[in-house]
Amino acid sequence: MAILQAARTVDKGRPLHIVTNNKRAAKRLTTDRKKHEDLGWSDTPETADIFRLAVAELRSRSARTTITYISKNRRGWQELRDTTTTARATARATRAARDQSALEDKTATSFDAPGAKLAAMSQRTAHRIIKAIDTASTPDRKATSTEVKKAQIAIERATGKTPAETQIWASLRTKDLSPSLRNFAWKGLHGAHKVGEYFNNMPSPWKELATCPRCDTVESMEHILFECSDPARALIWDLALDALEKKLGERPEPEIGTVWGATAASFQAENKEEGRGKARAFRILISESAFLIWKIRCERRIQHEDDENWVISNEEATSRWKATINGRIAIDRRLTNKTRHKRGALGTKTVLNTWRDMLDNEEGLQEDWLRHPGVLVGIGTRQRRQREEG
Ligand SMILES: [Zn+2]
């Protein structure tokens, strides 16, 4: 509920004027509030909690707060239109800010001490920043269709089937991937990752980010994920493809489009369930591995400022990949808990079908390893245990 959000976000000591076209909400919080409170909000059971919270939040404000209801159909009030436009821009800016990778976080912090500095900022500066964020978050259509084509071609190569464009976008809503992974692919499909060319027209020190210092070439997402000489990059793909080879019966040859379109890949199998398991394994392993490579690249370039002495050892890269995938298996296991997740719970079969053929010592595993929390299940756990024992 936007009102609650506004009350929470705006500094309590500052006046807040809420304009809403939700007549019911406005009434409940103002003229009808006492009536509802006297009844303990029991007359509106479905929304009682949220209204109770909103009232508490609004009461905790020390500055003046007003709530005004404006009919949706009212036209010609310039201020309202402006407010709507600003609200949309702010929402976009917030989204852009949330989506920022470690890289942009660093550039943003120089002018963006969260919230506090806004009052001191001149309107012109604020306008310029919003405009900059806006331009950056509005994907370029040509870039989008190029990346979508790459995804279609790559998925066709991997599976024999070309996903439709709508299918690619729809598949991005999958719950199989975390929001950051989905956002990573979404940006990729829009050609909106800020790398390489993006920095070319900027002043130093950002300009230097356009080039990969390891390889002395323009850095693109393709370079980062598939060409860079960083040994961690090749190693992580090796681990992922070893696992997928066991699962699919053949070794995939991913390219950049495979990463952007991984959620839309479907596989033939003896039965539906098995096919679904393959697709799920594919999307999880491809996405998680690519994202890990990207994270390591950001650590190297941003956090460690291209320090030549900073390298991730093969051992560390391996253990980070294993930790990522085994962490994902652990999440899957937890999500099958029906008591906790109710109808949102993941099917036991789905989980077993996803990981089957990729786990260590599967011969020794009971089919229902999911329900034995003590059983260590994972990828690469056998080797680690042997090392620990020896
Ligand atoms: Zn490179």
- CA 329 / ligand 1 centre spacing (Å): 31
Lowest mean pLDDT across 102-106, 107-111, 308-312: 107-111
Q: Say what the pLDDT of residue 374 is.
A: 57
* Listed range (218-222, 243-247, 376-380) with the worst mean pLDDT: 376-380
Short-list 389, 390, 388, 366, CA closest to 377: 366
The H or E element spanning position 246 is: helix 231-248
∠33-35-36 over CA atoms, to 5°? Answer: 65
DSSP string, 271-309: SHHHHHHHHHHHHHHHHHHHHHHHHHHHIIIIITTT-TT
How many angstroms separate the alpha carbon of residue 324 from the centre of ligand 1? Answer: 23
Whether the model clears a pTM of 0.75, i.e. scores above it, the answer is no
* Kind and range of the H or E run holding 165: helix 165-171
Taking residues 78-82, report their average pLDDT.
Answer: 64
State the average pLDDT over residues 253-268.
97
Question: If we measure between CA atoms, which residue out of 295, 291, 307, 296 comes closest to residue 214?
Answer: 307
379 or 285, greater pLDDT: 285
Q: Are 293 and 224 in contact (CB under 8 A)?
A: yes
Q: Which residues contact 82 (CB under 8 A, 6 or more apart)?
A: none
Q: Which of 156, 148, 167 is nearest to 264 (CA)?
A: 167
CA–centroid distance, 227 to ligand 1, in Å, is 7
**What does the DSSP 8-state code read for residue 84?**
H
What confidence tier does 202 reach under pLDDT thresholds 50, 70, 90? confident
Rounded mean pLDDT, 127-147:
71
CA 330 to ligand 1 centroid distance, Å: 33
Q: What are phi and psi of 18, to 5 degrees?
A: -100, 125
**Residue 190, number of CB atoms within 10 A of its CB:** 19
283-297 pLDDT, tens digit per residue, is 999 999 999 999 999
Question: Would you say 332 and 351 are in contact if contact means Cβ atoms under 8 Å apart?
Answer: yes
Q: How far is the CA of 299 from the centre of ligand 1 (A)?
A: 14
Average pLDDT over the chain reads 81
Compute the Cα dihedral for 127, 130, 136, 138 and give only its sign. Answer: negative
190 Cα: distance to centroid of ligand 1 (angstroms): 22
Neighbours of 191 (CB within 10 A): 21
How far does the centroid of ligand 1 lie from the alpha carbon of residue 149, in Å? 24
The pLDDT score that the predictor gives to residue 295 is 97
Place of tokens 């709507």: 84
Least confident of 51-65, 79-93, 98-112: 98-112
Residues of the chain above pLDDT 70, percent: 78
Ligand 1 centroid distance, CA of 5 (Å): 43
Lowest mean pLDDT among 27-41, 108-122, 323-337: 108-122
Number of residues written out for the chain: 390
Using the mean position of ligand 1's atoms as its centre, give its distance from the Cα of residue 86 in Å. Answer: 40
State phi, psi for 213 to the nearest 5 degrees: -70, -25
Q: What is the mean pLDDT of residues 247-261?
A: 97
Write down the pLDDT at residue 9.
Answer: 76
Q: Which residues pair with 212 in a beta bridge?
A: 217
Select from 250, 254, 267, 263 the least CA-distant residue to 161.
267
The pLDDT of residue 105 is 40
Check pLDDT > 60 for residue 187. yes
User: Mind giving me the DSSP string for 133-150?
Assistant: HHHHHS--HHHHHHHHHH
What's the 235 CA to ligand 1 centre distance in angstroms? 14
Please give the structure tokens belonging to residue 72: 């949706």
